[in-house]
Structure 1
Amino acid sequence: MKKILVPVDFSKHSEYALEVAAQIAKEKHMEICVLHMIGLSESVLSKNEAEEYKEAKYYMKLAKKRFKPFLNKEYLKGIKILQLVQNYKIFSEINAIVKELNMDMVVMGSHGVSRARDTFVGSNTEKVVRTCEVPVLVIKQPRHNFKLNALVFAFNFKDEIVQTYKRVKEFAHFFHAEVYPVFVNTPSIKFLSNTSIEEKLIYYKERFDIKEKVAVYNDTSVEKGILNYAEKMNADGIAIPTHGRKGISHFLKGSIGEAMANHANIPVITFKTNT
């Protein structure tokens, strides 16, 4: 991996993400692209071409001026940084930047959301997590000494998880981290017997050559189980697959990955599946 994308809105949570990105970039000799989205309104874009250009130029210039104090940080010294201002209004468009500039990962700050807002509106972080094709590292608190030695991976008994597992392993290898897969057994979905779980574990380990021991953790929900197991293992981060659901399907079924990105206090790394 060579390039990190950091979307910023100049908030303190953006700074948390930027500092973590800087620590990774220094250790792994990577570049950082700092992206600010100005999101001009339709009223601006509906003006005649000359007026539109003039106003857009003004907002672009204003945004670039804000970069100077924001990027004047000691921890950024010696890192190659690209400053980018784009007129995007929705955060799902960040994936276009990822592909265009060949970004390898996204580091993004998040303040989380309330349950009500999470259900009906979602957050900017969710939109990135749901659409981004590279790993998204979500940071919610200051991490002055960021490390990723132990990574809990949310495992389930679906064939689609295997490809994500391989990506998580590659990501963990890059950080020299240990991966701890865990299956959360819950009564709310379909509680599996010990025999059933053992049979499934044997099947997946043999068919897909899974080396790590897959732990089984019983809890009232998948989200709580992952968080509690991560705390038990003293994990530095949680790796979660996300399906990228949209529309009605997203609202009805939700996504554990998006929920975790919003509600976990430790860093969460999401990996978009192809389903």
Structure 2
Amino acid sequence: MKTIVVPFDFSTYSLEALKTAQKISVKSGAQIVCVTVIPSEIDFEKLSEEAKMKYTDLIEQKTEAEEILPEYIQQIAPAKAPIEQVVKIGVPHEQILREANRSGADMIVMGAYGKGYTEGKFIGSNLQKILRMADMPVLAVKVALDGNDLRKIAFASTFQQDTPKAFAKIKPFVKAFKASVHQLFVNTPGNFHTSEKIQDGMKLFQAGNEEIVFHQHTYSAEEVEKGIVAFCEEEGLHLVALVSGDHKLSPAYQVGVTETVLFQGDLGVLSVKA
């Protein structure tokens, strides 16, 4: 891993994401790009210098963010930590994705909620959009994950043909922590599989990954999401990786397993597209 992008809006949740990214950075050597976006519908970067000067309020907010951002970073990172600080003006999820693509990010780590969070609210709208649009893995957290949390990963999947492709995207992360991977298939009444079929899929998934320690689990539940959360609680796991579908071209956002698992518990959820 070379680069991790962390969206940072000075909220508690974004600070937890930055702490998590710092743990990953120390272990993997990846640089962190900390991105703060001053919300605006204006695509500020495309304006001429003369036109930009008309938006004094946005410029003042950007300057203030640039001044106080280092103070927040110093709370969790040593002075020489490889953290690049970027402050943009524009639509938050668009600017975050633009920066992630520009920097060639291997992963985005962000808080489940932003500054406008209220108790009981579903996950943040910017996170939902980034989960939908990002090509790279997205790790969403409510609380910071420490080194021990990152050494044990539940990988919940149906273990079909596209699963190895998704796992390949997070394999450098797994290897950096020498993490054990708990393969998890949640058997539900509406999608019941035999033990033989599940085990065959898991064995196929392991092929080519002999250097990684795998554990196989089948868990029965009424719903996939509840099964994932319950399994992780019982096993003492705090991080789950999920293979998500590609919803970029969907006319409206579809709430899936990834978003629901994140909402239902305090797990760190690593969303990976095949």
Under a length normalisation based on structure 2, what TM-score does the superposition of the two structures give? 0.81
Residues 207 and 59 (structure 1 numbering): CA distance in 2 closer, same or farther, change over 3 Å?
closer
Q: Residues 118-267 of structure 1 correspond to what in structure 2 (within 5 A)? A: 118=122, 123-143=125-145, 147-187=149-189, 189-192=190-193, 194=194, 197-202=195-200, 205-206=203-204, 209=207, 212-246=214-248, 247-248=250-251, 250-251=253-254, 254-267=255-268
* Amino acid of the structure 2 residue aligned with 1:225: G
**Which structure has greater helix proportion?**
1
1:142–1:79 CA distance, 2 compared to 1 (3 A): same
State the one-letter code of the partner of 2:133.
Answer: T
Q: Name the structure 2 match of 1:52.
A: 52
Q: Which moved further from structure 2: 61-70 or 13-22? A: 61-70
* C-alpha displacement of 1:9: 0.5
Indicate whether 1:17 and 2:17 are aligned: yes
Q: What do you get for the CA RMSD once the two structures are aligned?
A: 3.3
Calculate percent identity across the aligned residue pairs.
25
Separation of aligned partners in 1, 2:220 and 2:52:
57
TM superposition shift of 1:241: 1.2
Deviations 1:248-271 (A, max 9, x none): 4643xx321232233330211111
Q: Deviations along 1:95-140, whole A, 9 cap, x unmatched?
A: 322221122222111239899964xx96222222222222222120
Aligned to 1:34: 34
CA distance in 2, matches of 1:32, 1:164: 22
SS across alignment from 1:257: helix
Unaligned runs of 5+ in 2: none
Paired with 2:192 and 2:119, the residues of 1 have a C-alpha distance of 25
For normalisation by structure 1, the TM-score amounts to 0.81
Task: Determine the C-alpha separation between the residues in 2 that align with 1:27 and 1:213.
Answer: 23
Q: Which runs of 5+ in 1 are unaligned?
A: none
Q: Is the 8 A contact 1:22 1:76 kept in 2?
A: no
In 1, the alpha carbon distance for the partners of 2:146 and 2:158 equals 33
Check 1:145–1:94 CA distance in 2 against 1; reply closer, same or farther (3 A cut).
Answer: same
